[in-house]
Structure 1
């Protein structure tokens, strides 16, 4: 349950001022507004949204949260924002939670939030898919090649999609970051250790020429068939056209070997 106060600014950048105003102050809403949060689920209606945002304000204050902007991928009618929420951890000390939000003006669910729940108190809950798969959604060039390698369980092909100094940052806080061919190979070998790949079914793809942001459903992991779960990832291309960085926002659990 993490609301990023900068999300209405992202809505403004798409030219949807009425929706942005409703997210800032639901009492003034002149348009329907709905969002989906990994923990709270779907939130809609003026009173429900206002109460939830008030809880979020208190939560950020209690955790002494500071929000770091990472990147924005801006399409025609859809935008994806990325942040890291630096906050007091449940067991003391500071921790950082990567959070992404999709603003999708063509959807009946125009704001969708993605993040792991690992540093948050409470049990892990399997999140149901947020938006349906889109058979026409395609990731282009090297990003598409990487997703094919991921689905096939092919470590060599997956690593080949990255620049020599490319990096992968997972959804968990802390040092869950892998850089360079050796670390990326170790990471993907671990992904595929149970046998088979990690097939993703695409739901939306947002491109800006540099970044490719895609919502997906994890359809399986190593043939273990865990429950379908949604997520979002952003790949940034480097100067050579290969992936310079990949950042993942989901709560999918790997199968136990």
Structure 2
């Protein structure tokens, strides 16, 4: 939720408040801000020079480049008949995370594209940097390597259950991963609704396939955003089993259940299994 609400006109802001059935909003959601058509409000929501990191456009820096980006995005939204499904808001003082599913016209019919946005804020809640995460595979049929957006932070501390999951993921320990999930826990891959694993049996089958390349999947932890209910982890993937990878940016959201274990995990990256692991991967995965 990146945009500063006080910068929008009263009618535009009221439309957003009515949509979310709220009396006030700490920030205006990303797509609602775009569709309001008030570009000056978007520009002024930044603490300084606008800076956006986009999976296709790369780094967009400067007011002129940002205004062109917004114009192109709005044209794309209109041409693709985009509808945005809200999934989750996660807001803390230094950072806000927004999760949506973007439904749009693809080359072969409607596509559901999971997307996460991370906005770092200053003390006035103005944007320092905005990062978008999603897989290109639902749009193009293939994945693309995405270089790191953030550097690893060795002092970073995640909530205990997320740390448990990450240690098990790095070690390739399926039993320890299942112990971190609720019995009916759900994992959604970056490709969206067709790639969801529910319950212990489906999670076990998925992670056994993930670890078929002779080991786990270690991640460099770069930023943690936690509101006590959900935790977003921005990371760099650096290996897949015994295969070292060029570091690749991603984001995962972990939602705790009533027991404190993971009720849901949603991934936003574009990593491809290495060739040595693809034999274990289904053609649709």
**TM-score, structure 2 normalization:** 0.80
Name 1:44's counterpart in structure 2.
Answer: 61
Are residue 189 (structure 1) and residue 189 (structure 2) matched?
A: no
Q: 1:35 aligns with which of 31, 43, 52?
A: 52
Are residue 94 (structure 1) and residue 110 (structure 2) matched?
A: yes
Name 1:3's counterpart in structure 2.
Answer: none
Q: 1:115 aligns with which of 131, 134, 152?
A: 134
Q: Give the CA deviation at 1:102.
A: 0.5
Root mean square deviation of aligned Cα: 2.5
**TM-score, structure 1 normalization:** 0.88
Write out per-residue CA displacement over residues 78-135 of structure 1, whole angstroms, 9 at most, x where no aligned residue: 11110000111222x2110000000112599510110001122486432110011111
Partner Cα separation in structure 2 for residue 208 and residue 221 of structure 1: 30
Partner Cα separation in structure 2 for residue 194 and residue 243 of structure 1: 25
Contact 2:144 2:271 in 1 (8 A): no
Are residue 229 (structure 1) and residue 251 (structure 2) matched?
A: no
When residues 28 and 185 of structure 1 are mapped into structure 2, their CA distance, relative to the original with a 3 A threshold, is: closer
Mapping 1:14-25, distance limit 5 Å:
24-25=41-42
Q: 1:253 aligns with which of 256, 272, 275?
A: 272
Contact 1:215 1:231 in 2 (8 A): yes
Partner Cα separation in structure 1 for residue 266 and residue 169 of structure 2: 15
Partner Cα separation in structure 2 for residue 169 and residue 137 of structure 1: 25
Write out per-residue CA displacement over residues 46-98 of structure 1, whole angstroms, 9 at most, x where no aligned residue: 1111111111111111111100110011111111110000111222x211000
When residues 174 and 236 of structure 1 are mapped into structure 2, their CA distance, relative to the original with a 3 A threshold, is: closer
Contact 2:4 2:27 in 1 (8 A): no
When residues 10 and 172 of structure 1 are mapped into structure 2, their CA distance, relative to the original with a 3 A threshold, is: farther
Partner Cα separation in structure 1 for residue 212 and residue 73 of structure 2: 39
Name 2:26's counterpart in structure 1.
Answer: 13
Partner Cα separation in structure 1 for residue 233 and residue 47 of structure 2: 30
Write out per-residue CA displacement over residues 12-40 of structure 1, whole angstroms, 9 at most, x where no aligned residue: 7269xxxx887744389783211100111
Q: Give the CA deviation at 1:160.
A: 1.0
Name 1:63's counterpart in structure 2.
Answer: 80
Q: Which runs of 5+ in 2 are unaligned?
A: 7-24, 277-285
Count of residues in correspondence between the two structures = 247
SS of equivalent to 2:200 = helix
More helix by share: 2
SS of equivalent to 1:60 = helix
Contact 1:89 1:95 in 2 (8 A): yes
Partner Cα separation in structure 1 for residue 234 and residue 94 of structure 2: 15
Runs of 4+ with >4 A deviation: 9-12, 20-25, 27-30, 106-109
Larger Rg belongs to: 2
